[in-house]
Amino acid sequence: MVKTRNPWGNNKYNGPWSEDSADWTPEYRKQCGDYGTKNIGEIWLPLDVWNNYYADLTVNWFRDDWKITEVEGDSLQWSVTKTFGSDLNSWIEVNNPVEQDVILECHQNPARMFPDSCDSDNSPLDFKMDWMNTELVQLKIEGDNVADCNGDGLLIRKLPAGISQIRMSDADSWAVISSHNSLFKLRMNATKEPIKMTQSKGNNYIFK
């Protein structure tokens, strides 16, 4: 059995071992964290069913000695002037004390976390992370230079000590921006020393 999460808060799995299935005994539900008693968007799939629905699997790189720091995005610090060809931007200043390997992650609340009174049609927004130096030149990163929230990460080996900045951009430039769907949390995982992150005022930056 594979525990799988549906972050969108809509549709329902009704196949084998769905939450209303008679296959679940009280003991099985208890082993799976009281499965089916709380609406948290989790389902359990038999391995053969999982293989039919999913094409690949990503394994996270985790170390129990990470030096972790976080910063929450504040929607009031986004640039709100939107013109054709530009995105909604927010900038995070990164102050790295020593050369070290780092992984940057971005997390957003899924639609199911918002009350019914909120318009969650565009939640979460499709944010992109883009790591640059102070001259707006992209840093050398293993893999892609731009990553999505809620799934991707940016890995930099031997990040130099000093100041750099992360551009958070709303790839859904057509979407309706509200006070809740523009929120995000950045998590910096460092191998040696904690890294300070501070959100600065947004800039309406247009890629050439």
All structural domains of the chain with their residue ranges: 2-53, 67-200
Edge-to-edge strand order for the sheet containing 146-148? 146-148, 127-132, 162-170, 88-96, 196-200
CB atoms within 10 A of CB 36: 17
Q: What is the pLDDT of residues 60-107, one digit of tens each?
A: 767 789 999 988 765 545 544 444 344 556 778 899 999 999 988 887
Instruction: Give CA separation, 59 vs 62, 100, 151, 172, 197, in Å.
Output: 9, 22, 11, 27, 26
pTM (2 decimals)?
0.64
In the chain the first and final C-alpha atoms are separated, in Å, by: 48
Percentage of the chain lying above the pLDDT 90 cut: 23
Q: In 36-115, at which residue ranges do the beta strands (DSSP E only) sit?
A: 42-45, 67-72, 88-96, 100-107
CATH number belonging to domain 67-200? 2.60.120.380
Distance CA 167, CA 201 (A): 11
Q: What is the pLDDT of residues 114-135, one digit of tens each?
A: 666 665 555 555 667 778 887 7
Angle at 163 between CA 139 and CA 179, to 5 degrees: 85
CA pseudo-torsion sign 26, 37, 58, 93: negative
Indicate the SS3 state at residue 31: helix
Q: What is the pLDDT of residues 28-72, one digit of tens each?
A: 999 988 888 776 778 899 999 999 988 887 777 677 899 999 887
Position 167 scores a pLDDT of: 77
Over residues 149-161, mean pLDDT: 81
Distance CA 14, CA 16 (A): 7
